[in-house]
Every structure is written in structure tokens, then in C-alpha cells.
A and B are shown apart, each in its own frame.
Chain A
Amino acid sequence: MKKDKKFDFGPYLYILPAAIIIIVFRLVPIILSFIVSFYEWTITGPGEFIGFANYLEMLRDGEFWQSLLNTLNLVVFVVPISLILSLVFANFLNGITKLKSLFRSIYFIPTVTSMVAISIVWKIIFNQQTGLANFFLTKFGFDPMGWLAESRGVFDLFLSNFGLDFSAFISGISNAIGVNYHTIYLIFGGPSLALFCIIVVTIWKGLGYNTIIYLAGLQNIPKVYYEAADIDGAGKIKQFFKITWHLVSPTTFYVLMMTTIVTFQVFSQIYLMTGPPIGGPLGTTKVIVYFLFDKGFGESNNLSYASAVALVLFGIILSLTLWQKKMEKKVHY
């Protein structure tokens, strides 16, 4: 290859338009967010340097911890359920030829529709008076439920059904370790029924995408493994656990990572489905992104605190991603 004597600016010109946008609207804001979090900062601009005050404030802020707990509840329920359901769907879809694309499209429609519109629809589905959920419950002889207006935890509701005194259990723990009842309830009561509705919607929305990803993963597994297993007389279920589960693991890691990242950032469902006041009954559906949105653009207009919360969220997501990457290397096929 002939070397040019003059410095070649060409390549830089090609990346320039993209680079300007990415630097100005991605890199600069990321750096700026650290700066903002160390200053008092409102809509009018920067105030005094306050160091780590925002981060220390967060440690004391009960509302922050509750929204973090709500977010974790959301992630802990959404990610595994979505993963299992989408793998099952993908397996069924992979086993058929007729109507395959029809089913695939049906599962996929929620993925392309906007979260705003479907949140509105689901909010009405869970409406106590005119909703479809209570319509079905009463049709099948159950009592109607409060759904999005219900602040009691799902474990509490479930166990109370069998006549168990859940609140006695909670006060027992509360007295034993000397932490107030409310905090123990939030931790052991499980997500509130209101948050559970959000969990349902979040799973429903992401299921189609995960199914498609799994389907692509399954199609990459060479048929010969299954043919060999058939000859050896292994049943379909055994084949699934001995072959499919292992060979589809790169996809599982991808689905796990993406669903976790996306679920940590849930916002629209909360903003549209719960409330007023947004954040649901007793703040049980307030998730971290809604919390920081409310801090930054709500009444207090504390952009600085909101920025600090956002960076903590980033830290959590980043460490989980790195941990999952590490795990993935360990379980490599």
C-alpha cells in the first residue's frame, strides 16, 4: 500500500457529523451529569458546590430507598418470568411450521406499539369499576380487587386468602429486630398489587421481543444434536434440559442483560398507569426513574439531586452488566 505524504483528513470528515452529535449530546452530558450532581443546580443554573451532599442525602432519603426497593421488586419478578415464558414460547414456535409467522407476529405486536397507548389501555383494564380484570373476576365468581389502587403486598394478599395473619408475622419480625413495621412490611410483603399490575404489563410488553431473540437462538442450534438424542431415546423434556438450555445460553445471557437493563429504566407505565398521585398507593409503584424525574422536573426542581440518583442507577446497571458478562465467560459453551 502506498503511503500518502500528506496527512489524510478524509476519514475524520466522514466520522465528523456523527462524532459531533455523539460528543455534544452523549459524552458532554455524561460528564456534565457528574458536575451537576456536585453542585446545587436548578432550572436557573448552578449554585454552590456541595460535594457529596446529594449522595449522603440519598442514604437518608426513605423515598429513595422505597423507590429502589420497588425497582428491585420489578426486576426480580419481570426478568425471570419473562425469560422463562419467552423461552417456552420460542420452543413451541420452533416446533411448528404452519401458522408460525402468524403466532410470531401476534406475540410481537406489543413490542412495536407505544408504551403510552398500551399503558392507557391497561390502566382501564385494571380500573375497578369499568375494567376487564374485575369483569373476569366477578364472572368466575371471585371478589373484585383494587388492582392499581391496592397498596397491600401480593404475599400478604395471597397468604391472607388462606386465613394466615400476615401482619402478626410482620410485627413479629419488626419487634425481633427493632425495625419499624412499615419497613419490614415493604420488604416482606412483596410488591404491592399495584406494582404487580405494572409487572404484568412490563412482562407482556417485552415478551414478544424476547421470544423472537430466543427463536433466533434456537434456530442456530444444529439439528444433529437432537437427531442424535432421538436415536439415543432421550425424550423431548430431557432434550430441552440437556441440549437446548445449554446451547441457547448465550441468548439467555443477552435476554437476561437486556431485560434487566430495560426493567431498571421503567418509567412510562408508572407515569401513565398509576395515580394520581403518580407513584401509586402509598408510593408503592414509585420506581427509581420516576423518582428522579419527579425530583428533577417536579415541584422541587432539584436537578442536582436527580442527577446524583441517575448516576447511582447507572452504577447499579453497570455493575450488574459487568457481573453478568463475567458469569457469561464462566459458563461458555
Chain B
Amino acid sequence: MKKTITYTILSICGLLMIIPFIWMLTTSVKSQLEVNKGNVGFLPIENYKVYFDGENEYLVTVVKTVGDSAIVHLFDEKMVRIATYKKIASNQITEKKEFKLHFENFTNAFNKVPFKRYFFNTLFVSFSVVIGVLITGSLAAYAFATMRFKGRDFIFYLFISMMMVPQPVYLIPSYVLLNHLGWIDTYQALIIPWIANIFTIFLLRQQFKTIPSALFDAARIDGCGRFRTLWTLVLPLSKSVIVTSAIFGFIGSWNSFMWPLVMTDSPEIRVLQVGLSYFSQESSAQTSLLMAASTFSILPLVLLFLILQKQIIASFASSGLKG
């Protein structure tokens, strides 16, 4: 009994959480005409009236009914107007309901602006950032976790304290700086400032510290240098934290919006989120195209999430315990 209540509540809440996505999907396969007609429910069912004149079938919009006859406009299946203010008998008009999926919305949206380019840019930037973050992060974390040197704790806590600074604070001076470097509207502006991540350094350092020092001693006795120890001993033992860091880096980079919005301008460099934002401003009335574009732009991350859900949820959960 108690379990039933729990499951009911969880299901209702779960439904509320994914309704926007379901509606996004169903609207993305509707024709814009249906949406504008106010047919905004969940099922992509189209209501329309047809007129059969003995040879061809036409789509009909009724202007006025007078007694048994109706004054109508006729259209062909491509909504090209065939006749206007034609008088026909009312009983020749039949109402039809059809379940129809307009997958062409996806190709139309995809081709309307260079989404292909935006996807490429986003993938390129995200992969570069992830690789950069892992390289700089594991090198720095390795030093912080296993080596003794002057100023180590000071530098580490200086880094950590900078994690507290919110992005809007360094956005404007970064713009000034990147402008000075001539990097505005280049890939560098999207990649270089992000190839070191303080949180990643922190996560990796925590992990590296858990490796028993006896292993390091053994490696040293065997004549294994620092870098080789990192590469052959430390990193293989830290796979899960590396995956976690990569996931955070990738999701963060893929979804980042304000930074690329400010730092880039031309369509050649534009990333997906910014491209989608411009697309939504240009085609604000094209609801079903917008839904199609939203769908394909979140699809890669949702797929990634569905494949790696255990790992991703565990990563986010651990960010709370350690952070």
C-alpha cells in the first residue's frame, strides 16, 4: 500500500519532469499549420476537410456555409491554392483525421542555418577542452598530491579560492584581455581559457592521494621516473575519476552559452548553443522547426547520458560530497 503511494507520486512527478521533452518531440513532428490552428495537444493528429470532385481530392477551408452549400477555398496537397470562393454542396465535404509525422521539420531546421558547422565547432571545442583539462589537470594534481615543494599549499588554495569566483565576474575583463590578444572570434577564445579546470585538479588530487605511498616507493626503487610513474601507475589507477572529469568537462563545454555568445561573432566559429539561440530569434514563429532544432541539439548529450547514466549520476553525486 505504502509502496503504491510512493510509486504513484514518483510517477506523477517524473511525468511532470519529462512532459516538456515529450511535448518537444510531439511538436517537432507537427506541421506548423496545425500548431497555428491551435492543435497543440500531444498527439500529432491532423484534422482537415477534403472535397472530392469525382476526379481529384482537394483540401478545403470553409469561408461560409449557406444552407446546403458552402463557399470554400480549395488547395492541393502542397497547400497551393487551386480555387477561391468556390460554391460546393456541403455534403461533398468530409472531415478527416490523420496521424501524420512531419519528419521533414528536422531536415528543414537543420538546413536553414549551418547547424552542421555548429555541431562540428561544438565537438571540436568540447573535445579540445576535455583533452586539455585532463592533461593540465593530471599533471598539476600529480604534483599537488605526491610532491613536496615550496609554496605548494599556498598555490593550491589560491587555485581553490578562485573556483569561488562566478563566471560573470571574469567575463568582462576576459573579453578585454582576449580582445587585446586579438583572440575575439577565434577558436582560441573558446578553448584556451578553459583547458585548465580547478575543480578537475581538485578531484584528481583527491584521487591521487588515495594511492598508497608504498606503490610510489616501489616504483622509485625500480627506477621509474616521475612522469613514467604518473603514466603507468597513477593514471591507470584513477580511471573512474578521469572519466568523471571528462564527463564534467564535456557537458560543461557542450552546454556553455554566455562565454561563446560574448567571445565569438561569425557563423564559422559559432557553436551549437549560440547558433540555436540565433535560430530561435530568427524563426521565433516557426514553433515546430524550433522544437526540431531543440531536439537534435540535445540529442547527443541525452544519448551520452542514457549510455553512461550510472557513471554520470555517480559523478554528479560525488561532486556534492567532495565539493
Contact = CB atoms under 8 A, between A and B. Distances in A.
Interface of A: 8, 10-12, 14-15, 17-22, 24-30, 32-33, 36, 41, 43, 89, 92-93, 95-96, 99, 101, 103-118, 120-125, 127, 129-132, 135, 204, 207-209, 212-213, 215-217, 220, 251, 254-255, 258, 261, 264-265, 267-268, 271-272, 276, 289, 292-293, 296-297, 303, 306-307, 310-311, 313-314, 317-318, 321
Interface of B: 3, 6-7, 9-10, 13-14, 17-21, 23-24, 27, 35-36, 38, 40-41, 135-137, 139-140, 142-144, 147-149, 152, 155, 158-159, 162, 164-177, 179, 192-193, 195-196, 198, 201, 226, 251, 254-255, 257-258, 261-262, 272-273, 276-277, 280-281, 287, 290-291, 293-294, 297-298, 301-302, 304-306, 309-310, 312-313, 316-321, 323
Nearest to B165: A30
B302 A26 contact: no
Secondary structure call for the B interface:
helix
Contacts of A96: 3, 6-7, 10
A121 B17 contact: no
A17 B139 contact: yes
A216 B14 contact: no
A112 B305 contact: yes
A265 B167 contact: yes
A295 B155 CA distance: 34
B294 A112 contact: no
B17 A268 contact: no
B257 A216 contact: no
Contacts of A217: 320-321
A108 B306 CA distance: 11
Contact of B20 (A21, A121, A310): A121
A10 to B, nearest CB: 6
B172 A268 contact: no
Contacts of B174: 25, 29
14 contacts: A18-B201, A19-B155, A24-B177, A25-B170, A33-B169, A36-B172, A89-B10, A101-B310, A104-B313, A114-B255, A124-B27, A204-B20, A212-B317, A217-B321
A16 to B, nearest CB: 8
Contacts of B195: 21
Given A18-B139, A114-B298, A116-B277, A43 B164 contact: no
B265 to A, nearest CB: 11
Considering the complex of A and B, which 8 residue pairs feature the smallest CB-CB distances, nearest first?
A21-B196, A14-B143, A213-B320, A32-B173, A29-B173, A25-B193, A18-B140, A11-B149
Contact of B294 (A11, A118, A311): A118
Contacts of B165: 26, 30, 314
Contacts of A318: 164
B137 A121 contact: no
A25 B226 CA distance: 28
Contacts of B40: 130-132, 135
Contacts of A109: 17-18, 21, 302, 305
Given A29-B170, A30-B165, 10 more contacts: A30-B173, A33-B170, A106-B14, A107-B13, A116-B255, A129-B38, A208-B17, A217-B321, A293-B258, A306-B172
